A = this chain, B = another copy of it.
Amino acid sequence: MSVLVVGSLALDTIETPFGSASETVGGSATYISLAASYFVSPIRIVGVVGGDFPRSAMQLLEERGVDMEGLQVVEDGRTFRWSGRYHYDLNQRDTLSTDLNVFQAFDPTVPETYRRSRIVCLGNIDPVLQLRVLDQMESPRIVVCDTMNYWIEGKNAELRETLKHITVLILNDSEARLLSREPNLIKAAKVIRGMGPSVLIIKKGEHGALLLTESMVFSAPAYPMENIFDPTGAGDAFAGGFLGWLARTEDMSEENLKRAVIYGSALASFCVEKFGIEGLRDLTYLHIQDRFREFRELSRFDED
């Protein structure tokens, strides 16, 4: 299945208790595409960068089978920049600065050749832009959407409109509570599924993830990690692994959605082991399958 990814391409400045990186390549579209690229190709990307976006990053994406026709390059503009600092426990971060730059005036245009993509992944950007992308598509089979507190609070009505057209919404637990105004996650999931998405994934960081449909709750474990180097991009790597598996298998059954959540969790675990996108550069499909089996061992128990 063909995959279209829309999202940010960024230069991130990151501080964690274990190190820091200045203007390293990041952005939701970058992480999603890299993670998905281990499962399927081509991945088509819609986004915008300035003339300062490194050639080497473009090359990396191309080598990983990412189709860059839909990437707008504003030669005299500056790439979107984000800067953040993680706390000691890595569960919290402070955004130090956000410079939209070329993203400020971004109007996503989906190339003609992309419009029949079967899977669309809307990375965490303005829900108005997410909807504008969907409007250009010809009845995609699956629309996966990520969002965050910033849009839930700042563009709630617009987000609610976008959600009507979403198949799979991916949120973290605090975002699910904020969007639904319901502290109980199982109730929150019902409220959110009532807004449009038939499938909801609630990411819980070190506690794993929940997959919820009308008829099923699936609890995915978290990979037990002693050393998380940099949490940046984990959520996007999750989305990329999840949709990559669905695109590869073309199987939307509940059993296969569960596997997709595990593949998403696996890619997220690789992502946080290294700084920035480093953890997603040199994987192999066999390596990913080994981690899938580790997840299985982690949560498997038998009847007496």
Contacts and interface: CB of A to CB of B under 8 A. Distances in A.
- The 5 closest A-B CB pairs, nearest first, are A219-B221, A207-B207, A89-B183, A258-B301, A217-B224
A186 interface: yes
- Determine how many copies of this chain the complex contains: 2
Nearest to A298: B219
A304 B249 contact: yes
Interface string A266-304: 000000000000000000000000001100101111111
A76 to B, nearest CB: 45
Nearest to A301: B258
B301 A224 contact: no
A134 interface: no
28 contacts: A88-B183, A89-B183, A89-B184, A90-B183, A184-B225, A184-B227, A185-B206, A207-B207, A207-B208, A208-B208, A210-B224, A217-B224, A217-B298, A218-B298, A218-B301, A219-B221, A219-B222, A220-B299, A220-B301, A249-B304, A258-B301, A259-B301, A259-B302, A259-B303, A262-B301, A292-B303, A296-B303, A299-B299
A204 interface: yes
Interface string A81-99: 0000000111000000000
A168 B256 CA distance: 36
A226 interface: yes
A221 B184 CA distance: 16
Interface string A199-229: 0000010111010000001111110111110
A88 B262 CA distance: 32
Contacts of A224: 185-186, 210, 217, 219
A226 B259 contact: no
B299 A221 contact: yes
Contacts of A225: 184, 186
A255 interface: yes
A218 B249 contact: no
B304 A293 contact: no
A88 B184 CA distance: 10
Contacts of A259: 301-304
B219 A208 contact: yes
Interface of A: 88-90, 183-187, 204, 206-208, 210, 217-222, 224-228, 249, 255-256, 258-259, 262, 292-293, 296, 298-304
Interface centre among A183, A218, A224 (most CB of B within 10 A): A224
B88 A301 contact: no
A218 B184 contact: no
A151 to B, nearest CB: 23
A187 B301 contact: no
Contacts of A219: 208, 221-222, 224, 298-299
A228 B224 CA distance: 28
Contacts of A187: 226
A294 to B, nearest CB: 10
